Amino acid sequence: MKRILCLLLIFVSLCAAAQDMSRLFAVGSAVPGGIQELTSFPNKQFKYTGTLYQGTLAIRNQGSIIRYLTPTYEDSYVVNNTLPYTLGRDSVASQWVVPVTEDIYRITVDLNAKTLHGELFTAWNELFIVGGATECGWVTYTFLPFTRDPEEICAWDWTGELKERPEYGEPRRFKFNGQNAWEPKVLHPFTSDEDVLKSTQICTGGTEDRKWSITKEGYYHIRVDVFRETVKAEYLGTSMPGQSDATGLGDFSAQPILSIRGREVLLQSNQPVQLTISSLDGVLVASAKGTDLRTFLPSSGIYLIRIQAPGISISKKVMIK
């Protein structure tokens, strides 16, 4: 009896080793260098992002017995709206067709659903931060904008203050949205109240409304890559580096200078910046671009002023009497 149990345990162990799916690789004529490892995500998904050449590829594990992700349908294209796969040993039958050479392929393998989804990624036009830890709270159409990296079309930067704000719900939480509204594009952490300083990967979409959380108050620089689905945050301290003038916008050599005289708004900068002014309910009041800007506000009230340029993302509430 003991011998049978031992043999059974050995058999189970060998099967587990053979079915090891802890690492996946793309191989074939379409893959740069002939082989590339997919990136593992916490939700049992693996992703490849980047260049693929016209040709074919197969995706396999690294177990003692190689298994391939075999498409259910012959000659399946890697760009698809989610197709099922089975595990097989035939590398030829496991080829996925790559129709054209492009740099923006994103392939997602879902081990739970046993599916493969492929796309030619479309760069986002905008990205915002919103939440109880931000100055805009959870108010729709007042989300705080990121600035696109001019050298990296899918990378976005935001610098600003995150702190506990009891006047808002969930006062230490926040998330990212792909528009100045709730839907359709939204980014979440993989676990609720994930510390943004320790977070590295983001979840696009999903049904669970998870948020990031801060462990200390102050100024942060956050960089998000919506293509590779990564996030990196840096804590800058309790005051903005280089901050010196009364407006709180920093030294003129590095930051724009904002002046308000009655209903007149003046902005000077040593580089072209985008100035937008909106009411708290999200109505656009004024918009201008340049280095020496002047605009007038229509009436008294509270306005949200946003200043954007490469490396600059400033949001400021002002009261006009």
Percent of the chain with pLDDT over 90: 58
11 pLDDT higher than 70? no
Helix, strand, coil tally for the chain in percent (to 5): 5, 50, 45
Phi-psi region of 237 (alpha: psi -120 to 50; beta: other; left: phi over 0): left
Q: Give the Cβ contact number of residue 275 at 10 Å.
A: 23
Q: What is the model's pTM?
A: 0.72
Residue 146 CA to residue 268 CA, distance in Å, equals 21
Q: Where are the beta strands (DSSP E) in 173-217?
A: 173-177, 186-188, 194-195, 203-204, 212-213
Contacts of 234 (CB under 8 A, 6+ apart): 197, 220, 221, 222
Please give the full DSSP string across 234-299, using - where no structure is assigned. Answer: EEEESS-TT--STTSS--TTTS-EEEEETTEEEEEEEEEEEEEEEETTS-EEEEEEEEEEEEE-SS
pLDDT at 110: 97
Highest-scoring range by mean pLDDT, 26-40, 204-218, 303-317? 26-40
pLDDT at 154: 95
Name the average pLDDT for the chain.
87
Residue 147, both tokens? 């600035």
Residue 271 CA to residue 185 CA, distance in Å, equals 31
- Per-residue pLDDT, averaged over 148-159, amounts to 90
pLDDT at 264: 86
5 pLDDT higher than 60? no
214 pLDDT higher than 60? yes
- Per-residue pLDDT, averaged over 71-79, amounts to 94
Enumerate domains of the chain plus CATH numbers: 2-120 (2.60.40), 128-237 (2.60.40.3620), 257-320 (2.60.40.3080)
> Tokens 């392939």 correspond to what residue?
107
Instruction: For residue 221, list its beta bridge partners.
Output: 159, 234
Bond preceding residue 189 cis, omega within 30 of 0: no
Contacts of 238 (CB under 8 A, 6+ apart): 217, 218, 219
Q: Which residue has the higher pLDDT, 183 or 227?
A: 227
- Per-residue pLDDT, averaged over 280-309, amounts to 85
Residue whose C-alpha is closest to residue 61's, from 70, 52, 53: 70
pLDDT at 172: 95
140 pLDDT higher than 90? no
Are 154 and 185 in contact, with CB atoms under 8 Å apart? no
pLDDT at 7: 44
152 pLDDT higher than 60? yes
Are 273 and 250 in contact, with CB atoms under 8 Å apart? no
Instruction: For residue 309, list its beta bridge partners.
Output: 312
pLDDT at 161: 93
Are 50 and 103 in contact, with CB atoms under 8 Å apart? yes
Contacts of 3 (CB under 8 A, 6+ apart): none
9 pLDDT higher than 60? no
pLDDT tens per residue, range 228-280? 999 999 998 887 765 543 344 444 445 788 888 888 888 888 888 899 888 87
pLDDT tens per residue, range 30-74? 999 999 999 999 999 999 999 999 999 999 998 788 999 999 999
pLDDT at 255: 75
At 105, is the pLDDT very low, low, confident or very high (cuts 50, 70, 90)? very high
Instruction: For residue 265, list its beta bridge partners.
Output: 260, 295
pLDDT at 47: 98
